[in-house]
């Protein structure tokens, strides 16, 4: 019998795949609808889907969504994804509840997940779709979360930077798409300004080990990655420090 944690991971991977299909339908290569100053938040869209709004609030929000092509895209993609995976979503919620009740609940998370779409074409624009963390230097309103489509940036993006705690270590994650070369990943770990030593970083694609390198001055990286599902694991003295899961959709 599949445990709830495994079901939650399956939901996350399938939602990422579903988002990729939806983004291809609206042709990522063309200009996406642009957000306005009156866009509803993702929490509002979810409350609308869940029927948790009073009649007056619901009518007001439906008017906002109907007046914005950008919000309509977000709303439809979110609704399709939730409808398709409703059963798995329920199992994931149960698993999340169990995790919150864990005695280790106060410990920093050592897991990060980021989902991107890599546009076809010579420029290879990289769109951040969703993840456990927000990119640095990006306004919260510019990114759709909890499974909705990402907001279109006014300028094409090729580089993103994230901060995350891997247990007691501070991780700096850099993701960059390099035209005609693919995606590059750079991971830097430190604590109180001191770089992590004696650590190894392993890269896997769909569970298969591609490369394993030692960190130098707390830094490790991988280059020339094609669109796919990857996991990056940091270990030290046979103990796992943190794990980063990445999806690059196309």
CA–CA separation, 83 vs 158, rounded Å? 32
pLDDT in tens, 145-164: 433 344 444 456 789 999 99
- Strand ranges, E, within the chain: 111-118, 126-131, 159-166, 169-178, 182-191, 194-195, 199-205, 208-214, 219-225, 229-236, 239-249
81 in Cβ contact with 15 (< 8 Å): yes
DSSP 197: -
Q: How far is CA 100 from CA 88, 94, 103, 106, 122, in A?
A: 19, 10, 8, 9, 44
Task: Indicate yes or no: pTM above 0.85.
Answer: no
pLDDT in tens, 37-63: 778 776 777 777 777 678 888 888 888
DSSP 140: G
Given a cut of 70, the residues of the chain with pLDDT beneath it are 1-34, 42, 52, 78, 80-109, 121-122, 137-156
H/E stretch holding 72: helix 69-84
Nearest to 13, CA basis, from 92, 70, 83, 95: 92
Radius of gyration over every alpha carbon of the chain, rounded to an integer in angstroms: 19
Each domain of the chain, given as residue ranges in start order, spans 4-249
């Amino acid at each position: 019998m599949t445990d709830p944690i495994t079901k939650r991971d399956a939901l996350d991977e399938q939602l990422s795949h579903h988002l990729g299909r939806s983004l291809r339908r609206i042709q990522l290569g063309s200009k996406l609808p642009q957000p306005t100053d009156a866009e509803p938040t993702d929490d509002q869209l979810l409350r609308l889907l869940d029927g948790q709004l009073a009649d007056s609030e619901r009518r007001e929000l439906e008017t906002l969504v109907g007046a914005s092509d950008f919000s309509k895209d977000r709303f439809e993609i979110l609704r399709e994804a939730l409808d398709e995976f409703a059963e798995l979503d329920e199992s994931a919620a149960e698993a999340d509840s169990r995790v919150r009740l864990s005695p280790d609940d106060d410990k920093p998370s050592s897991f990060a997940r980021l989902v991107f779409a890599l546009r076809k074409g010579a420029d290879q624009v990289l769109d951040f779709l969703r993840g456990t963390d927000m990119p640095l230097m990006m306004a919260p309103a510019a990114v759709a979360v909890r499974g909705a489509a990402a907001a279109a940036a006014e300028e094409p993006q090729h580089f993103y930077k994230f901060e995350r705690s891997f247990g007691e270590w501070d991780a700096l994650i850099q993701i960059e798409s390099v035209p005609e070369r693919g995606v590059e990943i750079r991971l830097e770990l430190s604590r109180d300004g001191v770089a992590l030593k004696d650590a190894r970083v392993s890269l896997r694609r769909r569970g298969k080990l591609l490369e394993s390198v030692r960190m130098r001055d707390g830094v490790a990286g991988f280059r020339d990655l094609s669109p796919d599902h990857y996991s990056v694991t940091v270990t030290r003295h046979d103990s796992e420090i943190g794990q980063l899961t990445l999806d690059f959709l196309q």
